[in-house]
């Protein structure tokens, strides 16, 4: 749902993943454990603190679709794996990186926010991961949303059975997910400078807890922000 082309002259910009995650944390959205790092020594220390296995990602403003660009390395099980992945990515990306916990879970969902010209701030929920665009199983509500409305969003997607016990994994913790939708609703209402938010995917841990592992926030142009003052 994110805009594919960011305006260059009007002041709109996409924040880095680290910046986006920091904003989400302010609104109570559950995040994967992660650290921003600059060099291999930082990365090795961060991985030791978080615990292997880990994920390595490039991090910069305007950097979307990192997986498609070959800027993500998964399932790094030890220092040797991380060192090799870091050396590889340094040749493709000159900037900062993120080290994340490698989460396990068979289900991926998404939540998002958009500032619609007609309806104003809205939030979305649906099937996430690589299947988002293929399945197009997403529902929207105008923000602010109540706890009842957030709960209804969970039931309104066609694939709502994904929220139940799945392949031996626990049913999703609906309280956490409802709280996530409400937190995102609050963000869109309170932050008139933000045009769009894309949290995709949220991985559902095997114990049923959904956790955001990737996020992108687009800040509106100055003209767009002025409309909402």
**pLDDT (tens digit, 9 = 90+) per residue, 143-154?**
999 999 999 999
**At the top level of CATH, which class does the domain 34-101 belong to?**
alpha beta
* Element housing 37 (H / E): strand 34-37
Provide the pLDDT confidence category of residue 225 given band limits of 50, 70 and 90.
low
The H or E element containing residue 54 is strand 54-59
User: Are the CB atoms for 106 and 128 separated by under 8 Å?
Assistant: no
Q: What count of residues does the chain have?
A: 229
pLDDT in tens, 39-82: 999 999 999 999 999 999 999 998 888 888 899 999 999 999 99
pTM listed for this prediction: 0.88
Q: What are the phi and psi torsion angles at 48 (to 5°)?
A: -65, -40
CATH class of 13-30+105-227: alpha beta
Give the per-residue pLDDT at 214: 94
* Residue 22, C-beta contacts closer than 8 angstroms, at least 6 positions apart: none
Q: Mean per-residue pLDDT for 201-210?
A: 95
Biggest CA-to-CA distance, the chain: 52
Distance in angstroms (rounded) separating the CA atoms of residues 127 and 159: 7
198 touches 136 (CB < 8 A): no
Q: Which two tokens stand for residue 96?
A: 């900062």
Q: Is the pLDDT of residue 227 over 80?
A: no
Q: φ, ψ for residue 89 (rounded to 5)?
A: -70, -30
Q: Which two tokens stand for residue 206?
A: 């095997």
Give the tens place of pLDDT for each residue, 175-192: 999 999 999 999 999 999
Please give the residue that has the higher pLDDT: either 132 or 42: 42
Say which DSSP state 185 is in: H
CA angle 208/210/211 to nearest 5° reads: 135
Q: Is residue 20 within 8 Å of 98, Cβ to Cβ?
A: no
Q: What is the pLDDT of residue 132?
A: 78
Which is more confident, 109 or 129? 109
SS3 33: coil
Distance CA 212, CA 199 (A): 7
Between 94 and 89, where is the model more confident?
89
CA 164 to mean position of chain CA atoms: 22
Distance CA 171, CA 180 (A): 16
Per-residue model confidence (pLDDT) at position 220: 85
Instruction: Report the interhelical angle of 40-50 vs 79-90 (nearest 10°).
Output: 140
Q: Do domains 13-30+105-227 and 34-101 have the same CATH topology?
A: no
pLDDT attached to residue 9: 39
Structure tokens that stand for 92 in this block: 């493709």
Q: In angstroms, what CA-CA distances link 30 with 34, 73, 161, 181, 204?
A: 12, 22, 22, 11, 11
Which residue ranges make up each domain of the chain?
13-30+105-227, 34-101
């Amino acid at each position: 749902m994110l805009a594919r082309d960011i305006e260059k002259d009007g002041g709109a910009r996409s924040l880095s993943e680290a910046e986006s995650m920091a904003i989400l944390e302010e609104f109570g959205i559950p995040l994967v454990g992660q650290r921003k790092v600059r060099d291999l020594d930082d990365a090795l220390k961060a991985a030791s603190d978080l615990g292997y296995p880990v994920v390595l990602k490039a991090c910069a403003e305007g950097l979307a679709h990192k997986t498609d660009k070959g800027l993500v390395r998964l399932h790094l099980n030890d220092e040797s794996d991380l060192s090799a992945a870091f050396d590889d990515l340094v040749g493709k990306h000159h900037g900062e990186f993120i080290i994340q916990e490698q989460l396990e879970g068979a289900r991926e969902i998404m939540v998002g926010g958009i500032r619609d010209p007609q309806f104003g701030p809205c939030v979305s929920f649906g099937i996430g991961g690589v299947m988002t665009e293929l399945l197009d199983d997403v529902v929207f509500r105008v923000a602010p949303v109540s706890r009842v409305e957030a709960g209804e969003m969970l039931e309104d997607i066609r694939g709502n059975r994904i929220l139940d016990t799945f392949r031996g994994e626990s049913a999703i913790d609906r309280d956490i997910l409802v709280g996530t939708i409400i937190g995102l609703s609050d963000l869109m209402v309170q932050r008139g400078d933000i045009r769009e938010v894309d949290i995709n995917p949220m991985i559902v841990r095997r114990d049923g807890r959904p956790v955001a592992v990737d996020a992108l926030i687009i800040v509106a142009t100055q003209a767009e922000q002025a409309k909402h003052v």
